[in-house]
Amino acid sequence: MAEISTLEAKSKSAKQGKYSKETYLGWYETMLRIRRFEERTLLAYSQQKIRGFCHVYIGQEAIAAGMASALTPQDGVVTGYRQHGIAITRGISSRSAMAELFGKVTGCVKGKGGSMHFFSAEHKFFGGNGIVGAQIPIGTGIAFAEKYKGTTNLCVTMFGDGAARQGALFEAFNMAMTWKIPVLYIVENNKYAMGTSVERTSNVHQLSKLGLAFDMPSESVDGMSPETVHEAIERAAKHIRAGNGPYFLEINTYRYKGHSVSDPGKYRSKEELENYQDQDPVKMTEKKILTNKIASEAEIDAIKAKIEAEMDDAVQFAEESPLPTADLLFEANYVQEDYPFMMD
């Protein structure tokens, strides 16, 4: 995976925009990796190689890319079930992610989690949660642990617009502001909770306003551009690391596919879908790179070839990996023998 540079890697050339060539290519490669991974996921699902619930991230890739360049590896991330793209940007390999979807022992949770329950303590990625909104108090607790230990790390707690209506959100917001917990709340507003539009679930359509009831710094952000996402998360992270408590971002985005693979998406119009497809973050970033001569077509083609080869390898790896054996049911089940906080 190409390294995604941070803000100090700004370009001196006005032609190249606000950031360096490496930053733009890093964003592009990250988004293209997610897009191609999810396309291969849909293909494998249609071939019955992947089963169960499956929610792809196609259309929302700019959020993952912009977030990756604004965080540190020590920051935690927890999200809901539309999580393949976030997991990959945190460092879970395409091989490990695809193998998990295939239910193989070489997956990131040994084939026991499937599409909705990726996890990697090594990469501080805490799921992948299948219960709507359940990750909100979990992420708040992870962030509280960082405060308790005296670190400067934060925990990004991500959820969808449907989960924003859960009562746990308001309890977590209240606790986070009261105790100045270092948590960045992000609602990925893709306009629909399954098939129910934001407008039909509440009279508050601009979800960032929910934070204002708690005097929490809150803003709405364009989620179709990795630049705007990066800048917003960097602002929020600076605020949080300074000890000022939580921050809330509503990142406006759009999913191009149905809620899950079984959803035909008939609740939205063809015109609406086409309007958002014109804002495709992968295509728009590629266009910006080429139009502004940030990189050449040959460099873009090299990234495309690299990603295609990576996806071929990931699928082959998943197909050839063994299934988990029954004895794995009794491994990694809530036990840590050297748990340091147990008191006799």
Q: Within 13 A of 187's CA, how many CA atoms are on the CB side? A: 29
* pLDDT of 13: 36
Query: Which regions of the chain are under pLDDT 50?
Result: 1-15
- Quick check: helix, strand or coil at residue 267? coil
How far is the C-alpha of 162 from the C-alpha of 39, rounded, in Å? 25
Are 160 and 222 spatial neighbours (Cβ–Cβ below 8 Å)? no
* pLDDT of 61: 97
How far is the C-alpha of 187 from the C-alpha of 251, rounded, in Å? 6
How far is the C-alpha of 125 from the C-alpha of 75, rounded, in Å? 9
* pLDDT of 16: 53
Give which of 165, 35, 38, 125 is closest to 117, Cα–Cα: 125
Q: What is the DSSP string of 224-257?
A: T-HHHHHHHHHHHHHHIIIII--EEEEEE---SS
* pLDDT of 128: 86
* pLDDT of 17: 67
What is the dotted CATH code of the domain comprising 15-321? 3.40.50.970
* pLDDT of 335: 66
- Quick check: helix, strand or coil at residue 34? helix
* pLDDT of 108: 96
pTM over 0.85: yes
* pLDDT of 344: 59
Cα 111–Cα 51–Cα 261 angle in degrees, nearest 5: 125
Cα 137–Cα 172–Cα 136 angle in degrees, nearest 5: 35
How far is the C-alpha of 212 from the C-alpha of 168, rounded, in Å? 16
* pLDDT of 263: 86
How far is the C-alpha of 255 from the C-alpha of 251, rounded, in Å? 13
Locate 70 and state its tokens: 């604004």
Give which of 217, 216, 220, 215 is closest to 204, Cα–Cα: 220
How far is the C-alpha of 88 from the C-alpha of 68, rounded, in Å? 10
Find residue 184's DSSP bridge partners.
156, 247
